[in-house]
Copies of this chain bind each other. A is one copy, B any other.
Amino acid sequence: MVRTVFEKPDAIALVAEVFRELGYEGASMSEITARTKLSKGSVYHFFPGGKEEMAAEIMAHIDTWFVTEMFRPLEEEDPREAIARMWETTDSYFRSGRRVCLIGAFALDETRERFPRPIRDYFHRWISALSGALARAGKPQPEAQALAEEAVVGIQGALTLARALGDEAVFGRTLARLKQRLETAVA
């Protein structure tokens, strides 16, 4: 069955990948329509506010996803189990290092000036959620916070290097190292 019409959630996901690959400025309308196979009419039907609205909706979509799949699970009963699952979720979300972090990419150039809050919140909430789990696992507060920050820093750095080196393996190595580090720190 050939698809004839799209629905908004599809449109958000499709456009999101274009922004992720090309960045905010690089994601021109011609690239968006070419890569998503959506016509200009469809794109502006779903996002009357243009690129700004697309990016805002994409970030909201990412936010929702991370809250339900990454942050809330970190609040579940067994914190060590929760953290272990976070590494799996992270590896899967970033496709073992083949997919970059859209929010991280936005943070690096002037796109940050457009969306300072969602960008800041994304990282802040991730660190908070992980820090909370570490605290419940027995880490005193200041160290828990520092370890959580170290983990998120490592994830972002590994994504950058994986792309830069054209070698996704560095992402897997970094996740394994960080996992180990948080486990022994908590032991």
Complex interface bits, A94-105 against B, C-beta within 8 A gives 1, otherwise 0: 000000100111
A69 to B123, CA, bound (A): 32
Please state if A164 and B110 are interface contacts (CB–CB under 8 Å).
no
A80 to B158, CA, bound (A): 25
A95 to chain B minimum Cβ distance, whole angstroms, is 15
Number of interface residues of A (CB under 8 A): 43
Please state if B161 and A153 are interface contacts (CB–CB under 8 Å).
yes
| Cβ 8 A contact of A177, one of B108, B116, B150, B164 | B150
Copies of this chain, tallied across the complex: 2
| Cβ 8 A contact of A146, one of B25, B108, B159, B173 | B173
The answer, yes or no, to whether A78 is at the interface (CB within 8 Å) is no
A120 to B170, CA, bound (A): 13
Given the interface pairs A154-B157, A156-B157, A164-B123, the reply to whether A108 lies near B116 with Cβ below 8 Å is: no
Question: A: which residues have CB within 8 A of B?
Answer: 21-26, 100, 103-105, 107-112, 116, 119-120, 122-124, 146, 149-150, 152-161, 163-166, 170, 173-174, 177
What 8 A-B pairs come out closest when comparing CB atoms? A157-B157, A107-B164, A153-B157, A25-B25, A23-B109, A156-B157, A25-B26, A156-B160
In the complex, besides A25-B25, A107-B160, A150-B174, 18 extra interface pairs with C-beta distance below 8 angstroms are: A23-B23, A26-B110, A105-B109, A108-B159, A112-B164, A116-B166, A119-B164, A122-B164, A123-B165, A149-B173, A152-B161, A153-B154, A153-B157, A153-B174, A154-B154, A154-B157, A156-B157, A157-B157
